[in-house]
Amino acid sequence: MTSNPGVTLSDLNARVLAACADLARLTEVPGTTTRPYLCPSTRDVHAFLFGWAARLGLSVRVDAVGNLRARREGPAPDAPTLYVGSHIDTVPNAGAFDGVLGVLLAFALAEAVQERPLPFALELVAFSEEEGVRYGVPFIGSRALTGTADDLLGLTDAEGQTVADAIMAFGLNPDHLPDARVHGQSLGFLEFHIEQGPVLQAAGAALGVVSAIVGQNRVLLDFTGQASHAGTTPMAHRKDALAAAARFVVAAEELARSTPGLVATVGIMHARPGAINIVPGEVHCTLDLRHPDDAVRLEKLHGLLEGAQHFAAERGVTLTVSPMMGEDATPMDAGLRDLLHRAAGAEGAAHPELVSGAGHDAMILATVMPAAMLFIRSPNALSHHPDEMVNSDDVEAALRVGVRFLDVLAQE
Ligand code: GLV
Ligand code: MN
Ligand code: MN
Ligand code: MN
């Protein structure tokens, strides 16, 4: 049943990298890689993965939230399952590797061990949504596996389409969401992912074992003042929503710069009515706040929102704050981390531990099963940007460590 007997890890590595380039061209915006949750080009990614799974003789399906799941059964019906995967949605104008690299490495890993007996089932998962771009709330795909996506069905995107609408438009049934849940005994979840930051490059290491994923809050802020004439409204009479929001943005930057480990981002800001000669009456903006220590993050969030209320009030502006999501910092499973260290050591690869500043599906899976992540160096430390890159040798090293990891796990 081997699709290509004698295939080497170098061959598989070349195939993974070629596929990253090919899948980056499947997009909603020509000339960029832009693939929000369940957009039409998701079907083309699915078609590619269906083809690979079929050549490996895996059973494959798309669950009700749009995750593609390819399965190699275990030696017995009650054998536990090891899940391996990452996501196939992207941010706007993304690079070629965030998410997709981890999915393709999962498939390459399954092919690499195709001839070996394993005492567990292997399920490859291409999560449909991780970025939280279309609906603001991330991890819709992995939340469905843990049975916590039902509450998200009513969320609306910028066009007013709900998550349930998007699922139906893709030809799936949101009432079947429980079918996406993980059933039976789970051995754990392994996610390969590019680091998306500078730590491994600075350490001179191709790979890293994630110790924990930072916690984060996403919040919407609506500043409401009074639109008025830019020439005739004296400064003391203004209710300038954008001036209040601007003070908030600077305060967030200053706080994060002066608090070790804290990162704060205002990634969206819309001012209305948006004319050169009208005092802005309304501002809609977002805050993304992250820190490895939940107590620090929550204390700083509280302080920032209090400051925002103050900046609004001193201008006669009102502020409405709507929390979108909050996720606590999530340690990765000690046992699986140890296996990754042993596997990397056996391959002669350096394997420093590092904290992930990006959110990942592993932090959701960690609520129901042991979860671990292997990071692959980002040579230019750039991500959420089309110039995102990887070194070919590093990706091959990740694949080698993955194969060792399965060997060690099989012997446990
Ligand atoms: C997604 O990549 C995130 O961490 O925001
Ligand atoms: Mn990602
Ligand atoms: Mn991302
Ligand atoms: Mn992410």
Quick: pLDDT tens for 15-26. 999 999 999 999
Rounded distance, CA 300 to CA 109, Å? 42
Exposed/middle/buried for residue 317 (C-beta within 10 Å: 0-12, 13-18, 19+): buried
Exposed/middle/buried for residue 207 (C-beta within 10 Å: 0-12, 13-18, 19+): buried
Domain edges within the chain: 9-213+329-411, 215-327
For residue 338, what are the contacts with CB-CB under 8 A and spacing of at least 6?
none
| Encoded tokens for 113 | 């061990």
pLDDT band at 1 (very low <50, low <70, confident <90, very high): very low
pLDDT band at 183 (very low <50, low <70, confident <90, very high): confident
* DSSP letter, residue 135: S
Residue 149 reports pLDDT greater than 50 = yes
For domain 215-327, is the CATH number 3.30.70.360?
Answer: yes
State pLDDT tens for residues 36-74.
999 999 999 999 999 999 999 999 999 999 999 999 999
Which ligand lies nearest the alpha carbon of 290? 1
What is the distance in A from the centroid of ligand 3 to the CA of 303? Answer: 27
Side-chain half-sphere of 215: how many Cα atoms within 13 Å? 17
277 is in an annotated binding site: yes
| Encoded tokens for 194 | 């590019």
Residue 119 reports pLDDT greater than 80 = yes
> What CATH number belongs to 9-213+329-411?
3.40.630.10
φ, ψ for residue 110, nearest 5 deg:
-60, -40
- Residue to mutate (ligand 1; options 89, 90, 130; most atoms within 8 A of CB): 130
46 is in an annotated binding site: no
Mean pLDDT of 186-207: 98
Rounded distance, CA 42 to CA 36, Å? 8
| Per-residue model confidence (pLDDT) at position 4 | 66
Mean pLDDT of 106-126: 97
Mean pLDDT of 83-107: 98
Cβ 406 under 6 angstroms from ligand 1: no
Cα–Cα–Cα angle for 224, 227, 229, rounded to 5 degrees:
155
pLDDT band at 2 (very low <50, low <70, confident <90, very high): very low
State pLDDT tens for residues 320-329.
999 999 999 9
